[in-house]
Each structure stands twice: as C-alpha cells, then as structure tokens.
Amino acid sequence: AQAKATLPLGSEGQIESVERVIDGDTFKLSNGQNLKLAGINAPVLHDAPTLTREAKRFKKEIWAYRNLGVDAMTEVETLLGLSGNQIRLESNSEGFDDMGHLLAYVYIPVDHLKEGAAPDETIILKKGNHYEVFLNAYLVKLGLAEVIEEGKTGPYGDLFLKLEQEAKGNRKGLWE
C-alpha cells in the first residue's frame, strides 16, 4: 500500500521537516512519510543483498561501498544541521517508488555555505541572503550518488548525467 502523499503532484515549494536520515537518499519526514531523492541512488547502508549487489557492480569491497553510503549520509546530515532539518520539496512526476516512498527533488535552505562552496545557480542557488542546496544534484556532483536509469530522472536528467560524467572524470566517490 502506498503511503499518503504529502506533496500533491504539480505543487511546488512545500516545506517539510526531516525527522531522521535513513541513508544518503532516503529520509523519514516529521509527518511520518518516507521520502526518496528522485532520479538518483546513493549507496545503501542496511539492505545486505542490495549492498552486496551494488558493491560488486561498482567493483568495490562491501566495506568501501558502505563507507561511501556513510559519506553521503554525513553530507546530508551536515546540510540538514545548517537548515534546522528543514527541506523544500519539488514533486517528481512518478509520485512514489515501488516501496511507497514519496519521490521528490529536495532543496536544503542554509544561511551559509561550507568553506570553498559558492553559488552556481544550478546546485547551489542564492535566495536573497540565504542559499538553497539542490541535494539530488549535489550528491551526484560529489560522486556519492549515481543517476538512476534514463527516463526516470525527470526534468533534471541532463544535469544529473552531466554531473555524473564530471564525477567520473574526476574519479570522485563511487568512481574512484
């Protein structure tokens, strides 16, 4: 059974609070809904068969692949700490994945950026005196998430693929 939608398709900009980060691309919202970042896949931490299969696909030891998942989760938790666990959601046309997770593009509002980060109007957007980090794209850029199969990436598919190619070229994260 699919969980109740917190974001009607076609609506934009809904603000939610994150109760808990499950892994780099999955959260539990304070309203009880599970959310998955649309268009990308970060390494899993808890599902042994999936962890083994994905580690093998990336030609990595299981512990190394899991560590990349921990790195993705740490990046997310760091950004959420800067936002008071607030996120802004943009809907995905698919609505839910096969496990009933709400699929969305997530923006994390922050007052300041990590040292060395700068607005680029693609991943880090300047909003007045504040910033928003487009989390889905940010994780791909860092090499901590891969682009899921073509056709399921939504309107950001070209951006995600470009960022993944850059991460591969720079041998970042999954692509080391």
pLDDT tens column, 97-131? 888 999 999 999 988 777 777 778 789 888 888 88
Question: Lowest-confidence range among 6-20, 51-65, 81-95, 155-169?
Answer: 6-20
Residues in a beta bridge with 162: none
Per-residue DSSP letter, 16: E
Answer for the pair 34, 3: CB distance below 8 angstroms, yes or no. Answer: yes
Task: Give CB contacts under 8 A, 24+ apart, made by 105-109.
Answer: 105/37, 105/38, 105/39, 105/134, 105/136, 105/154, 105/156, 106/35, 106/37, 106/134, 106/135, 106/136, 107/132, 107/133, 107/134, 107/135, 108/79, 108/80, 108/82, 108/83, 108/132, 108/133, 108/135, 109/83
DSSP state of 38: T
Rounded Cα–Cα distance for residues 24 and 173 (Å): 13
Whether the predicted pLDDT of 137 surpasses 80: yes
7 pLDDT tier (thresholds 50, 70, 90): very low
Record the pTM.
Answer: 0.88
Residues 6+ apart with CB under 8 A from 8: 91
| Site of tokens 């989760």 | 73
